Amino acid sequence: MTRPAQRRRTLSLRLLVVVGAVGGALALLGVSGLADTLVYYRTPTELLAEPPPEDERLRLGGLVQVGSLERVGSEARFAVTDGVATLPVVYSGALPAVFAEGQGAVVEGWLGGDGVFVGDLVLVKHSNEYRPVGEAG
């Protein structure tokens, strides 16, 4: 037990078991459908399929539909889409500088009874793509 060679053999067996357990855990997580459970935001399709209670605060995420953004005074109206369903959003406040049509956004707020999402915080969700100016993705 005190010799390094012996310790190495014992330890490599133990490490092998740990690596096996981590691999098994990763495989289990892969098939468990966990991706749909811990969500930072919900998509318009999900919100329309399962309307939340009216006073529940939640986050709506998706792409800002091209051509939907209009500003009236300090109020902004736009639509958030996931390609399948679209939800109209009303937001009063300053939009982030990077906010643009066709880009990802997450809106915090409530889904009103009239089907309009009332937001009080807009976050821009940028993609993992990095392209220079003037070169379309």
Partner 1 sequence: MSGRRAGLQVRRPGTLRTVAVLVRRDARIALGGVDGFASVLPFVAAGVVLAGLVLGPDPAALRTTAPGLVWLLVLTAAVPLARLVAAAERDEDSWDMLRGLVPPGVLLLAKAVVLWGALAVTWSTGTLLAVLLLDGAVTVAGCAAAVLGLVGVAASLTVFGALLAASARGAGLLAALVLPAGLPALLAGTQAGVADEPWPWLALLVAYDLVAGATSWAVFPFLLEE
Partner 2 sequence: MPRTPAPGGALLPTAAVTASGAALVLALLVAPEDAVQGPAQRLMYVHVPAAWVAYLAFAAVLVCSVAYLVRRDLRFDRCAQAAAELGIGLTALAIGLGMLWGRPVWGVWWTWDARLVTTTVLLLVYVAYLGVRRMADDPHVAARRSAAVGVVAFLNVPVVHFSVVWWRTLHQPPTVLGPEGSPPIDPVMAWALAAGVVAFTLLAVLVVRRRVAGLRAAGAEPAAVPPAAGAAPVITVVPGGGR
Each residue 100-119 as x (binds partner 2 by CB under 8 A) or -, in order, gives x--x--x-------------
Partner whose binding site includes residue 125, from partner 1, partner 2, none (CB under 5 to 8 Å by kind): partner 2
57 near partner 1, judged by CB under 8 A: no
The tokens 């309009």 sit on which residue?
116
37 near partner 1, judged by CB under 8 A: yes
39 near partner 2, judged by CB under 8 A: yes
Long-range (24+ apart) CB contacts under 8 A made by 119-128 are: 119/60, 119/89, 119/90, 119/91, 120/91, 120/92, 120/93, 121/93, 122/91, 122/93, 122/95, 122/96, 123/96, 124/96, 124/98, 124/99, 125/41, 125/61, 126/98
Partner whose binding site includes residue 24, from partner 1, partner 2, none (CB under 5 to 8 Å by kind): partner 1
Kindly list the residues in this chain that would bind partner 1 in the complex (CB under 8 A): 1, 6, 10, 14-15, 17-18, 20-22, 24-26, 28-29, 31-34, 36-38
